[in-house]
Amino acid sequence: MHLRRKLVAGNWKMNGSLGQLAEVSAIAEAARATGGVDVAVCPPFTLLAPALTRAGGITIGAQDCHAAASGPHTGCVSVPMLKEAGARLVICGHSERRADQHETDADVRAKAEAALGGGLVTIICVGESEAERAAGGHLARVEAQLAGSLPDDWEEGELVVAYEPIWAIGTGKVATAVDVAEMHAAIRAALVARYGDRGARVRILYGGSVKAENAAELFAVADVDGALVGGASLTAAQFVPIIEAAAAS
């Protein structure tokens, strides 16, 4: 993956089946034809290996990992296991896991350290709740998540931040271009303050109800280096126009 070349990553969440992997083939074919954009699909763990056989040039990623390489952690999957299954990317700290599995910033950081240490492209998710935004605390909330969730060490190109306002995920509500610009500028400033020049080269994705209809406007915002897409990544018909919008931006 190139530095700050746009990345469009699909998060299938707990959706998908072997029968739906034809969508991965179609997405990969379109991504090849479009060119110029890094594309990833993150199916459930059970579909990683079979998805890889359909992936062509696109990246197959996972939606979570454990911080340890092995051990007594029933139901969990480690970075070496993901790599053996063919994953080259992982999402850490998605707001659904922060809420449902009570993942803290420290948990997310530990997972991200394991993933980056294992050479996986690592998307670390941050984002405020509707109440935090309404109270004017959205920037402080995200800055605190960045401070607590991001590791100190990573290889160029492998650390990615996704700004996903919780109220925009799966709701059809999208942050305005002005709100996205404000937050992405604040995230960039935090990255540069912490990592210097290297922070200027970290990709920052927007996520939250990204669709074909709003993708071009979002990709035109400064410091939007791609998208993390949930619902609209499940079919090539909905995902490919987002990839094409990224390529055209």
In the complex, which residues of this chain contact ligand PEP (CB under 6 A)? 11, 164, 169-170, 207-210, 228-232
Q: Is 94 known to be catalytic?
A: yes
The catalytically annotated residue of 66, 94, 138, 184 is: 94
Nearer to ligand PEP, 11 or 249 (CB): 11
Q: In angstroms, what is the minimal distance from the CB of 206 to ligand PEP?
A: 9
Q: Residue 95 CB, nearest distance to ligand PEP (Å)?
A: 8
C-alpha span between 245 and 215 (Å, rounded): 6
Interatomic CA distance for residues 188 and 180, integer angstroms: 12
User: Which residue in the list 128, 164, 184, 244 is annotated as catalytic?
Assistant: 164
Q: What is the DSSP letter of 71?
A: S
Rounded to a whole number of angstroms, the minimum distance from the CB of residue 213 to ligand PEP is 13
Between 177 and 192, whose beta carbon lies closer to ligand PEP?
177
Judged by beta carbon, residue 95 or residue 193, the one nearer ligand PEP is 95
Burial of 67 (0-12, 13-18, 19+ CB in 10 A): buried
Rounded CA gap, 180 and 184, in Å? Answer: 6
Q: How far is the CB of 187 from ligand PEP (least distance, A)?
A: 16
Measured from the CB atom, is 35 or 172 closer to ligand PEP? 172
Closest CA to 117 of 80, 70, 160: 80
Cα dihedral value 66, 161, 10, 86, nearest 10 = -40
Residue 66's DSSP bridge partners are 78
Residues with catalytic function: 94, 164
